[in-house]
Amino acid sequence: MTGRDLLPIAAFALIAACVPLFVTSNVVLNFLVFTLIIALAAQGWNLLGGYGGQYSFGHAAFFGTGAYLTAILQVRFGMNAYPAFAAGIALAALVGLAIGFMAFRSGLRGSYFALVTLAFAEVFRVLANASEVTGGAAGILIRLRADPLNFQFAERGTFLWVAAALVTLALVATLALERSRLGAQLVAVRENEAAAQALGVDVLAVKLRAIVLSAGMTGAAGGLYAQYFLYLDAQIAYGTWISVEALLAPIVGGAGTVFGPVLGAVILHGLAEATKTIAGRIPGIDLVVFGIVLILVVRFPPRDIPGLLKRWRR
């Protein structure tokens, strides 16, 4: 990694840091924080799905685990928010390792892997909905104590800084992965498993490392969500909405690229907000937009756009 590689990330951090200085509208700040949380979750998905080609439909399993443990350790065990957040990330990574070990060791790939991850996330959702420790269907509420020592902030702008800092960290980590041996081997596994094996790549070990990093990063997004909204229930934490968001953003923005997930999250949520403003609060209108964008992206892959433009100009 050289200074020049880090330049776009530094630019992102600088812009994000300046936003709270100029924007005071709570609605806008709220939108930005939420988008950054999604971007972080999506960046986690991108490590495994974008670089490794292992498409998970169940990243909610990691998001929810990070979120719930962050909340439960504070509410039920009186732990400070920061170690609780760290523990949430660690447990999410561990859940990733467990799911990955079961799925990858049995050689599950493609749609089979996607279905298994989806099933795990759904099992977690049902369990969280029924369990005592998660607050069951009533959900769990983190007590409002706006103090930086509690990982809570009176100003939304401050929280935006924290979220942007975590996303920046995720971008740097992704760039470092891209330039590392693990990154090269992960992409090789995505492109051709047999060829990667022949070149000495331990496919199982590479996939497991990727899913651990991926799950930890998405778990961090979950913990951040818990600290920002201070309320969780099973549908929020383990719902399919976050699995879909986590994979849609990178696919729209560019899977297997450093900035894809951030770009995708901004595009998707920007469009959804714009539609809501124009079309009014029709329930589910944002999902309709997501669907249309997804169809367009699959039909006209962004990497083909320069070629398409050239053809139209003729």
Partner 1 sequence: MTGTGADPAFLAVRGITKRFGGLIAVNDATLDVAEGSITGLIGPNGAGKTTLFAVVAGFETPTSGLVMLEGEDITGRRPHHLARMGLARTFQIVQPFAGLSVRENIAVGAFLRESRRAAALAVAEEVAARVGLTDQLDKPAAALTVAGRKRLEVARALATRPKLLLLDEVLAGLNPSEVRDIVPVVRAIRDSGVTVLMIEHVMQAVMNLCERVHVLAQGRIICSGTPAEVVAAPQVIEAYLGHGAAARLQGGAHA
Q: Which residues bind partner 1 (CB under 8 A)?
A: 179-181, 184-185, 187-188, 190-192, 194-203
Distance in Å, CB of 183 to partner 1, minimum: 9
Kindly state the smallest distance separating residue 196's Cβ from partner 1, in Å.
7
Q: Which is nearer to partner 1, 90 or 176 (CB)?
A: 176
Nearer to partner 1, 116 or 206 (CB): 206
232 bridge partner residues: 140
Alpha carbon distance 233, 194 (integer Å): 43
Q: Taking the complex as a whole, how short is the minimal distance between the CB of residue 10 and partner 1, in angstroms?
A: 21
Provide the minimum distance between the beta carbon of 308 and partner 1 in the complex, in angstroms, as a whole number.
19
User: Token digits for 268?
Assistant: 């998707």
Give the nearer residue to partner 1 in terms of CB position, either 111 or 197.
197
Q: Which is nearer to partner 1, 189 or 234 (CB)?
A: 189
**What residue type is assigned to position 145 of the chain?**
R
Q: Half-sphere exposure of 107 toward its Cβ, with a 13 Å CA cutoff?
A: 2
Least distance in angstroms from the C-beta of 303 to partner 1? 10
The token pair at 30 is 């709220």
Q: At 140, phi and psi to the nearest 5?
A: -130, 135
Instruction: Please say which residue, 26 or 197, places its beta carbon nearer to partner 1.
Output: 197
Q: How does DSSP classify residue 232?
A: E
Helix 203-229, helix 156-178: angle, nearest 10: 170
- Inter-axis angle of helices 110-130 and 60-75, nearest 10: 30
Least distance in angstroms from the C-beta of 109 to partner 1: 16
Task: Find where tokens 């989806």 sit.
Answer: 118
Neighbours of 301 (CB within 10 A): 13
As a whole number of Å, the CA-based R_g of the chain is 19
Q: Residues near 69 by Cβ (< 8 Å), separated by ≥ 6? A: 84, 87, 88, 91, 92, 223
190 vs 269, beta carbon nearer partner 1: 190
